[in-house]
Chains A and B, each alone.
Chain A
């Protein structure tokens, strides 16, 4: 592993397109165009300064529009274009691809765009069926796992190995819901209690509905990654690490502890020249409440099996020692599709700019953002810092 790999690049523009709970999303290209315009405006740059485009795939239509078509649609002119079209991606990878393009001299100011609308066109049932296609067609789908089942199998084993309780699994949802209710764009309403989460409808044991991510109709995110710092609102992209170790759950070396997660997080931290104790907040992909516990343990914020106790005293709440998912995450803000982890990047940028209002983490200087592909199979960590 190499340490600090040269100067940072900057996330100088950041934008988030809100659709709203249950509302049909605008057309895919409309969302992308809005995210592009808003991100460039947020950066305070002229659109003529944009000379690169990195496009995130969307879940159902990875090739609905190739990146050169989108660049043409936006009238970017001569530009470097790339796309991350493959499945099982950690989503945070698009910021890394933009950084790589800047560092290689392929572009100076790269627009990064993501949009998803599939639950608008497919409906909730259609979206669930589509997500289920993430499982291997030959060796997993014949046995009927739901997406929550992948996390349920981890949770059941965590409970068995470490004595993690239903109350601890619920506590994650309660804490993150508090944050979501501070987000004016949240798609949920009402506080949760440990009791209400435990007593909610069982989806795939031991996980109840309130321990699982929302499914949203759509959304989009846009960023401008720049070689130079534009102004004090520019956030430094200090490190990125990524590692996969399996895709089918039957091939996972463990269901509760993952060395490749540690590897990916360590790579990001080393590039940033930072330690875990330097991290002021984390934004973890949270499709199910077992996932933040496993991440806390596998990254090393606590020991194996200690994740449940870690969250019990409110440590992950704003004001706690490691605020997590300060926007509400996919449990209590929204889950628009591939870009869910990019909502986490938007939130990290907002926090590091000191613009998070009532959910602001005091003195937020360094943030860790996690993106995940397919049930912790592939993980990408960003380290972002105030510039």
Chain B
């Protein structure tokens, strides 16, 4: 367990790192383990050359099995597909309002829900974004900032 964690850490310094998807592993846990180290791992299918988010145990495009899937790290560039400023946070989010919930399209193709953080004045659909991470209640979550703006 510790050995493989160390191996992942060594991989993390290389942006073009590739890892096989463990057929008996929990892809959701693997994804969030990566985030806890501020690494975003996206699944890529070697059979049909498509990316997918969220991670799965098969390719949702061609149904290739887990053995054909690999984890890769996207370049981190993305486009804002849509966003909403939530003014009335509920539950654990009450203290964050107003905050931006967004649908973000990676340059590799997949879309994910996330938050846009930092300077969001004048934020607009189509804006270029960059992947970042934020820590909330002891958990590291992937977020985005506007390209060229500090969070």
Which listed residue (A140, A142, A149) contacts B139, Cβ 8 A?
A142
Given A129-B91, A132-B91, A204-B88, A156 and B83 touching (CB < 8 A)? yes
User: Could you show 13 A-B contacts with beta carbons less than 8 Å apart?
Assistant: A129-B90, A138-B28, A144-B96, A144-B99, A146-B90, A149-B84, A149-B101, A152-B84, A156-B83, A156-B125, A160-B126, A250-B103, A251-B111
Q: Which residues of B contact A (CB under 8 A)?
A: 28, 31-32, 53-54, 81-93, 96, 99, 101, 103, 110-115, 125-126, 136, 139, 141
Partner of B90, one of A125, A138, A156, A249: A125
Residue of B nearest to A256 (CB): B82
Please judge, given known A-B contacts A132-B91, A204-B87, whether A143 and B82 are in contact too, CB under 8 Å.
no
Q: For B84, B101, B111, B126, which residue has the most chain A Cβ atoms within 10 angstroms? A: B84
- Which bracket fits the contact residues of A? 20 to 34
Chain B residues near A156 (CB, 8 Å)?
82-84, 125
By the criterion CB–CB under 8 Å, are A143 and B101 in contact?
A: yes
Task: Determine whether the beta carbon of A143 is less than 8 Å from that of B88.
Answer: no
CB-nearest residue of chain A to B29: A138
Q: Within the assembled complex, what's the spacing in Å between the Cα atoms of A156 and B96?
A: 21
Residues of chain B within 8 A of A207, CB atoms compared: 84
**B124 → chain A, closest Cβ, in Å?**
8
* A302 CB within 8 Å of chain B: no
* A153:B91 contact, CB within 8 angstroms: no
Q: Is A201 a contact partner of B28 (Cβ separation < 8 A)?
A: no
- Name the A residues within 8 Å of B82 (CB-CB): 153-154, 156-157, 160, 255
Complex contact B113–A132 (CB within 8 A): no
A143 touching B115, Cβ below 8 Å: yes
Q: In whole angstroms, how far apart are the Cα atoms of A145 and B32 in the complex?
A: 19
What's the Cα separation between A331 and B83 when bound, in Å? 23
Evaluate contact between A249 and B113: CB separation under 8 angstroms.
yes
Number of A-B contacts (CB under 8 A): 92
Q: For chain A, residues 112 to 150, give those with C-beta under 8 angstroms from any C-beta of chain B.
A: 125, 128-129, 132, 136, 138-140, 142-146, 149
B84 with A250: CB separation less than 8 A: no
- The smallest beta-carbon distance between A218 and chain B, in angstroms, is 21
Report whether B93 and A250 are in contact in the complex, using a CB–CB cutoff of 8 Å. Answer: no
Contacts of A66 on B, CB cut-off 8 Å?
Answer: none
Nearest CB of A to B113, in Å: 5
A138 to B112, CA, bound (A): 12
**Contact A143–B87 (Cβ < 8 Å):** no
| Contact (Cβ within 8 A) A204 B113 | no
Name the CB-closest residue of B to A142: B141
A4 CB-CB contact with B under 8 Å: no
Most buried by A among B32, B81, B89: B81
A residues 202-231 touching B (CB-CB < 8 Å): 202-207
A140 touches B113 (CB 8 A): yes
Which 6 residue pairs across A and B have the least CB separation, nearest first? Answer: A152-B84, A144-B93, A157-B82, A205-B85, A160-B125, A153-B82
Residues on A with beta carbons closer than 8 Å to the beta carbon of B54 = 136, 138-139, 248, 250
B-side contacts of A206, CB under 8 Å: 84
Are B87 and A144 closer than 8 Å at their CB atoms?
A: no
Report the separation of the CA atoms of residues A125 and B53 in the bound assembly, to the nearest whole angstrom: 31
Separation of A205 and B82 alpha carbons in the complex (Å): 11
Complex Cα distance A343/B33, Å?
45
Docked Cα-Cα span, A250 to B52, in Å, equals 11
